[in-house]
Structure 1
Amino acid sequence: MKNFNQDVMNPITEDDIANYLSNTPDFFERHAQLLGQVQLTSPHGNRAVSLQERQAEMLREKIKALEHRIMDMVRHGTENGVTADRLQRWTRALLTTRDPRRLPTEIAAQLQDLFLVPQAAIKVWDCDSAYQGEPYTQSVSDDVKTLVTSLTAPYCGLNSGFEAAGWLAEPQAAVSIALIPLRDSAESPAFGLLVLASPDAQRYNAEMGTDFLERIAELASSALSRLRS
């Protein structure tokens, strides 16, 4: 009676059955006929299929998922290769620019052209007196300088009326924006700002990684050291 009451109070669960089958691998060897008798519903319709057929379908689904992952890896690898090539071409353009006076313009123009950036602008301050009359040294307020120096990494997100957006050819079309501070080192105050903008709200967003933009900032900052006083 005691055992009967225990069985009623503690009925066998699906987990108990699953654990038993997992821990008794020779069960289906002793009851091989069950493999042919078990009928399951196919995920591709309401028809009943055998256990073997269901396992085969699951295997095909896993293979298909792996194929998609491999395709994604190949695609990302190709994209990374294209990006690396563009970065190399951009760096080469900076190195072959002989006139330091043209460097800021080249930095922005080549980024816009090679990386298909809809709009780009650049400003540099604390330059040598020989470059003080250039357009890229003009109209930079103290507020902008303070903001840029406070950035420890590039800002990516919606354009919430940043003053620097006014440097762009079409400020009203700058929906998302990247503000990339230019400095000699991580501890140094900023001496310039590179602005990238797009009408696409997701082109520059807060969730994106900034490693690539930081590399751009390092290369541009090094090149612009030729203009510093």
Structure 2
Amino acid sequence: MQYSYLIIDDNEAHVQETLSAFEGFPEYYCVGIAGNKADAVNKILELKPHIVFLEVNPKKKNTGLSLAVITDLYQYLDRLPYFVILTATQKFAFDAIKAGAQDYLLKPLDRFELRKTLFRFQKTNPETVNDTICIRSYGDYQFISLHDIVYLQADNNTTDFYLTSGRKLTAYKTLKHYEANLPLFFYRIHNSYIVNSNHVSRINTGKSLCYLNNGEVSISFSKTFKDNIDTIIRKIAPEYL
């Protein structure tokens, strides 16, 4: 199982420090970075990360606004992501817990302490995603493993599923429906396509092409969904972003 995390920090050096600390944890990948409260709230709602690392700097006057990222989210979500506060002092520990944070790590990050935080997260957030999907065409119900889906293609108000076996199945629901309901390793990269990131074998940003199934299939991605392409690259090879 892979878990996504979001970093909220306006200091590039500190962001790189946090990313480097995760090099020993391949099951975790960075889904995005936000530098202010508005961007953070928008990205959490859009990307739905499992964990959010929020840096609080006591030298900045907007520290309260940083913690307000957590409280603001209660307007939109019944269940918040797992919030971990990063800071150089214990001064804000009480305020952080009161705001709804689940953990608190001191800077500079210690990998042993980060490991314990990640274990606590996994213990309190067991994975519950079903690994099958039902594709219905009229009265025909087909149960397909999510891992066998290479990509989905919109066809007016229906969606075609392309499988590793080479089969194509048509479901009578829109691509938008599946975008909202598929698990986090599926990414929309075009108005007409959703890909299973586990089957991505190559991305050519110059030609705006995404290659799947060991290069057997190539499909276009659009600028509208470039952030999702960056997320796939970050997930597979974080050292190149």
Q: If each structure's helix is expressed as a fraction of its own residues, which one has the higher value? A: 1
TM-score higher than 0.5: no
Q: If each structure's strand is expressed as a fraction of its own residues, which one has the higher value? A: 2
Shorter-chain TM-score tier: under 0.3
Q: Structure with the greater relative contact order (CA < 8 A, sep ≥ 6): 1 or 2? A: 1
- TM-score, normalised by the number of residues in structure 2: 0.21
- TM-score, normalised by the number of residues in structure 1: 0.22
Choose 1 or 2 for highest CA Rg: 1
